[in-house]
Amino acid sequence: MADEYAEHGIEFSLPGEWTHRDGYWQCTDGSALSVEFFPQPLDTSPPLLETYCLDLRLNAAREGGGLVECEKSELGLTAITKRPRGEGAPGFSYEGNILIPVQTGFLDIHVTHHEEDVTGVRESFVIEIEKPARDGDGNLIGWQADPYGYRPANAPFFNDLFGHKVHPLTQPLALFARSDDPKYDKEFADHPLTHVRKWQAWLREHVAVIETPFPHRKDQKYPLEGLALDIPLGFYHNTEAPERGDWFERPSFNRRSSRLGVILHPESPEASESTDTAETVVLREIDESEVELRDAPISYEVEIAGSPGILTACETTHAGRNFFDISFFLPSGKASLELAAIFESDDYERAMLALEAVVPSVEQS
């Protein structure tokens, strides 16, 4: 497979213990590997590392799991998450990703391995070695936690929108355990997590990037027709987006999507003052797109960063994923200006933070 991905900017050849299957490779040790190319520029600069960590936490939480590790590497970003196997199967599945920026987009090299019927040996060994304290119910104290100390706010997450009450990261999850520490990999060379780390290390040494990665912008200010505004780091200007207006996207692990839109509405100047008009505009946009409406829009008269306007929010589905679509309409001469944030449904908090960052930066000519 040395030349299979050369057209996308990387070269590597797997050792003999790997066999090509239908769309992936299988190793004799039970590991599986796949490679996927995405034609989107990926920014892996250090200030975005925590952003990607939160993406991974949310991805894993959907299946009751958590982040094991994520770091900037010579190839781009290297990460591992864990999830309970589900459907009554014991143990965990471990999923490793290496995101590699190239000139034409980025590649995701995906390595997975899961525990079989015999589980808990590594955990029992570490418990015997470290002897963690137990609470009155016999539960281990401090056995699992986020590896980087992240603690979500234990408060209503969606501000009562659509009946959602709980932050997805405050629910019981299988987080990084003390037995997941790489210092125990040597004693458990055949453990699935050890295998994932081993093959990620091998890939970091043997994958050659033969193209210069896409140059990332250094200025957050985007000049558009008739206005300029700051767009958060990691978002690129998708000039081929099918929707009306200007759209910015931030790709991430496991196809997680975050989008920001800037749309001028000369046909609906009252959308910045009327909740009914704002909802009509949003429904028209959904009707003209490829998304499916899940819940009817709700609207409020609000003020963001000192700017009064109308905030409209709804839930949609696209390509099998659920999203929160949030739009803020503010006056713009004889038109209304819509600033939209479309984030996945478990990411409402960052969608609002993105709008709160963009709104005060708007400079209209």
What pLDDT, in 10s, does the model give residues 169-208? 888 899 999 999 999 999 999 999 999 999 999 999 999 9
Q: Is the pLDDT of residue 99 over 80?
A: yes
What pLDDT, in 10s, does the model give residues 267-282? 999 999 999 999 999 9
Q: Which residue has the higher pLDDT, 131 or 5?
A: 131
% residues pLDDT > 70 (the chain): 94
Count other C-beta atoms under 10 Å from residue 328's C-beta.
25
Q: What pTM, to 2 d.p., does this model score?
A: 0.92
Q: Which pLDDT value is given to residue 2?
A: 47
Residues in the chain: 365
Domain with CATH 3.40.1000.10 in the chain: 221-364
Domain 221-364 -> CATH class: alpha beta
Complete edge-to-edge strand list for the sheet that includes strand 363-364: 221-224, 227-230, 363-364
Q: Which residue has the higher pLDDT, 216 or 94?
A: 94
What pLDDT, in 10s, does the model give residues 213-254? 766 666 677 778 788 999 999 999 999 988 899 999 999 999
Q: Is the pLDDT of residue 111 over 80?
A: yes
H-run or E-run covering 261: strand 257-265
Comparing CA positions, the residue from 109, 101, 94 lying closest to residue 36 is 109
